[in-house]
Structure 1
Amino acid sequence: MSLECTLVGAKTLGPDGWSDAPVWLADGLLVSEKAGRAVDLSGYLVLPGIVDPHGDGFERHMAPRRGALREAEHGVVATASELAANGITTAVLAQFFSWEGGMRGPDFAEHVFDSVSAVRNSVAVDLQLQLRLETHLLDDFARAEAAIDRYGIGYVVFNDHLPHQRLSEGRKPPRLTGQALKSGRNPEAHLALMQDLHARSSEVPAALDALAARLKAKGVVLGSHDDSTTEDRTVWAQRGASVSEFPETLEAAQAARDDGGHIVLGAPNVVRGASHAGNIAAADLIGQGLCDALASDYHYPSPLRAAFRLEELGLCDLATAWSLLSAGPARLLGLVDRGSLEPGKRADLIVVDPHTRRVEATIAGGRMAHLTGTVAERFMR
């Protein structure tokens, strides 16, 4: 059941900046006239709900230990609760479809997609799916495309995690044994698979061209991942990939900007102050205007924290930083019904204590997804 109420007294971030105007909610939408009873939110901030364009933090709920997969649907519910507690009202769950096997393999991917499909209508947060396809998984392209069609997946990102240089030199990749164990294979079989996939590299470009064209024709948003050079990004732009996720260098990010692509960076990178993998810092790219959206990546609390961190660093004010969490990601995903607090859009908003910077209420599609603290008392009056 959606809320019908008027939020008053808060400092609200609207499309034109900060305002003291009331916010009206009815029928799951933001409306232009008074609705329901008034809820006093004096002393709080009301912000658009966070749209997370890429996150895999759900894995710890879906499979808390290797092989512990039987409670996956309950894991999705737990994920939705964690998302809401961190102000995320739309979450793209980024799931590998990879030769790496285990939690990155096609079997686990379809298990995740089934579980999300089974419970998504019972939670308030809008759970969407991203399929992260390994570029050399040629024999499973048809299976991946069938899953995209079956589950209505609207966002596909292409990855290549093969250690090509090591394989071309005839050397074993680092951490082979550990990765093999995660995949459920012995190290020899895992290495042989990588060698076979690497040997078919000449087949990959044409297969990707054809698959990308089919997906684009279906309206699927396509993205590249970990671009490191201008050439990397140019190839993907030519295939219709309108998103560049986590570019590793200034050169690659600038190439994405030049080709009109949307640039997604990691919020944990902003919070940490650096890339955990040693790539260019997200704050450096943001400072040069080379970011359209921040993603939770592997840590759902980070987007909220990153927005305040950008303000602290003096890179932008909070309103500008917040656009990287709401309007920016909504735009790149083609979600025109959310991302800003305007009449007619989904009632996706959060209530934040400006002193503790904690989310005390999250409303997604007009439904209460998270409620705690003093704000809970005010709603219950």
Structure 2
Amino acid sequence: MHRLIAPFLQFIQLEYSGSLLLLIASLVAVMLANSPLAPLYGVLLHSPIAVALGKISFHWTLHEAVNDGLMAIFFLVMGLEIKRELVTGELSSLRRALLPILAALGGVITPALIYLVLNSGKEGAHGWGIPIATDIAFSLAVLSLFGRRIPLGLKVFLVTLAIVDDIVGVLVIATVYTRHLNYGYLFAAILLFAGCLLLNRAGITRLSIYLSAGVLLWWTFHASGVHATLAGVLLAFAIPTTGHGSQESSKAQESPLHRLEAALHPWVSFGIVPLFAFANAGVALKDLNSDAVWDPIFLGIFFGLVFGKAIGITLFSWIAVQLKLAELPHGVSWKQLHAVAWLGGIGFTVSIFIAGLAFETEAQFALVRFAVLIASTAAALVGIFLLTNLSRRSRVPESFEEQVPI
């Protein structure tokens, strides 16, 4: 049991630490965008970068390089986390996974419906995918403030919910926010992915082979019109989950998936995600008019993230338990689950990423980023208030042995 839960504990510890840098980077971006240094900040984000891979070259701005290039690594790590959960984590057992799966679906459907009701027939209707995302790093960081007063089962529930949320987010990006397709390159990408799966099936475990194929996969997706970050998720699903160890537990620890996730996760948590926040969170308030908070786009995102997430997660969880499809995690009460449901409204990373795909004008993108920042902050504050009231009444042991009967 300890060997199974060790990757999860390592994962949440990195998320806790990385979220501090994410918060700092976001605050710095907002301050720069609203200071006399704003022109310099804009010049930095639009500074040209050229990347050459043999005869293939890419000419990006720094902002594009982060969003189109580095974020592919973020989605690769996301895919590795998803696959690990499917193989050895909460998602490996349908009975254990059903509650966070259904909760996540509620937390996706309800915000999307709220957004669409407020934006139906308007120019912002295409942005319905923005309020469906939950930011793992920020939500776990808020939960970490309560330490031993929060049962481990509640943390596992939140992480699993956020991972299912990410799966839905990736599917939305791939299907809804892909505009023009080049079917020749798309077919080549599918063949490359199939080739990676065959390498896995053949027992090939050398990571350099998969990563080389991953670069080609990224390029073919980029050329096909499908957002290239999808290549990261698909590559993750081709990475082997067994190594050369003689025992099963040894295999899990020595697997290419485990080694790649351990190697990339710190770079993503402490480098790529804060850099993404720095490049995307800088909302210039002067670009927003006085009626911005009454704009249907703002209202759809705000009410979707703040209320839609909490209502959807709690309601779908309650229905699942009442129908006896699932049960509450060990040591978790309904009040605690409801409090954590509010933390699901902390969108940020994936929400802003989807916003960049959904809206092309700078004015709309600024409005959406402002809405995501305000809504995420509001959801976090409500979650903190509820958890604070609950945590005054109880203190839960932190150790795994004390919380889970073995």
TM-score by length of 1: 0.24
Structure having the higher strand fraction is 1
Structure having the higher helix fraction is 2
